[in-house]
Amino acid sequence: MNELAIWTYDWVPQGPRGFVRDLRLRWACEEAGLAYSVRTVAFDGRETNHLERQPFGQVPYLSDGELEMFESAAGLLHLARKSEKLMPRDKIGEAETVQWIIAALNSIEMITVPWWFLEMSGAKDNGLTAFMKGRLAQLERVLNEREWLSADRFTAADLLMADVLRLPKVRAYGDRPATEAFVTRVTDRPAFKKALADQLAHFAAADASRSAAR
């Protein structure tokens, strides 16, 4: 069995399929050519059944020998330390990659996810729209000037930023051609397509065993 294991739920409803964040780690392993296994924790009872592994009852988490870690981006950084394909080894390239990984989380996703929740809840006047619009416009300006976020080549920062931006409602928001080209370019990569297909197959297989058990 592979030392490196990505943990996800045994099953999820249709809605989040293709977006469960184990995909970030699957994708990174596929890009880097790292062998890994996928292991599961029960979706039912998630609020309490794995709090010792993920204190918020969420997925993914990762194990690598003795090491265990939660937070998809922490897992991504761990994988990036294992493979130069995900993060350059020169000081500047590495710093830029870490910087854009944090920016994906703390400057973009920190707005897009709450905005998305408000949209999904049917809020008539989404108070985060202006904030998000401004931030996405600033990112559009950056992506208009460069193909990759750091080091002039694909890195884990592009992986994470594209994963944050591909959320359908966010992706469809506004007219942002450079951002759209970026998301398309990054998600056209074979490693993304494999990770996505594998996640969808994992949950589809779970449908069969779940209905057989009921």
Ligand X SMILES: N[C@@H](CCC(=O)N[C@@H](CS)C(=O)NCC(=O)O)C(=O)O
Write out the residues near ligand X by the rule CB under 6 A: 20-21, 46, 57-60, 71-73
3-state secondary structure of 111: helix
CB of 16 to ligand X, least distance (A): 6
Query: Measured from the CB atom, is 59 or 186 closer to ligand X?
Result: 59
Q: Which CB sits closer to ligand X, 59 or 151? A: 59
Q: How far apart are CA 109 and CA 205, in angstroms?
A: 30
- Shortest distance, position 25 Cβ to ligand X, whole Å: 9
Q: Which is nearer to ligand X, 25 or 151 (CB)?
A: 25
**Nearer residue to ligand X within complex by CB, 72 or 176:** 72
Nearest approach, Cβ of 119 to ligand X (angstroms)? 17
Minimal CB distance residue for ligand X: 58
Q: Which is nearer to ligand X, 116 or 148 (CB)?
A: 116
Q: How far is the CB of 91 from ligand X (least distance, A)?
A: 27
CA dihedral 26, 27, 33, 36 (to 10 degrees): 0
Helical H segments across 59-189, by residue range:
72-82, 91-103, 110-120, 129-145, 156-165, 168-171, 177-187
User: For residues 199 and 20, is the Cβ–Cβ distance under 8 A?
Assistant: yes
CA-to-CA distance for 21 and 43, rounded, in angstroms?
14
Look at residue 6 and give its three-state secondary structure.
Answer: strand
Alpha-carbon distance 160 to 65, whole Å?
A: 24
Task: Name which of 60 and 88 has its Cβ closer to ligand X.
Answer: 60
Two tokens, residue 59 = 């997925």
User: How near is the Cβ of 120 to ligand X at its closest, in Å?
Assistant: 14
Distance (Å, rounded) from C-alpha 159 to C-alpha 185?
11
Which residues on neighbouring strands pair with residue 67, listed in sequence order? Answer: 64
**Whole-number minimum distance, CB 99 to ligand X, in Å?**
18
